[in-house]
Amino acid sequence: MAVPVAVSNWLRWLFPEKSLGRRGEAAAARYLKRRGYKIVARGSRLQPGELDLVAVRHRTIVFVEVKTRQTHQAGHPAEAVDQAKQRQLTRLAVTFLKRHGLLEYPARFDVIAITWPKGQRRPKIEHIKNAFEAVGQWEFYS
């Protein structure tokens, strides 16, 4: 039985489809959980931006930047984590660590690159551990 157009539109308004980025972050969180990571924050908004995922594994705090693309037409998703983005993530990570009293714990930056072609149910997930070192005047050591 077909759903009338008016009802279909109403349902889409009531339950909007998640954006590709949000679907990618959810897939990355599931991926990390299956590998023994504990997700402690998702979409943590701080000044001047947002941390996609913050996880803990073996007493190490892992800041995870998730990049999701449908194709590699504009380059590999991980290529979007350039110097400027690395500086921003470093500042956000230091802010997060200070705010939660966690500066004494080791930390690292990972990138999860997701390619999720339109119409496919499952994405291709690449986990790049220790993708970059802390950048800029906010450097910290693990």
Q: How many CA atoms lie within 13 A of 142 on its CB side?
A: 18
Residue 46 banded pLDDT, cuts 50, 70, 90: confident
- pLDDT band per the 50, 70, 90 thresholds, residue 118: confident
Q: Into which CATH architecture does domain 18-132 fall?
A: 3-Layer(aba) Sandwich (3.40)
β-bridge pairing 124-132 and 107-115? antiparallel
**Rounded Cα–Cα distance for residues 132 and 2 (Å):** 51
pTM: 0.82
User: How does pLDDT run across 75-87, given as a tens digit for each residue?
Assistant: 888 999 999 999 9
Confidence of residue 74 (pLDDT cuts 50, 70, 90): confident
d(CA 38, CA 55): 5
Please tell me the distance from the alpha carbon of residue 26 to that of residue 116, in angstroms, as a whole number. Answer: 13
In this predicted structure, the answer to whether residue 69 has a pLDDT above a threshold of 50 is yes
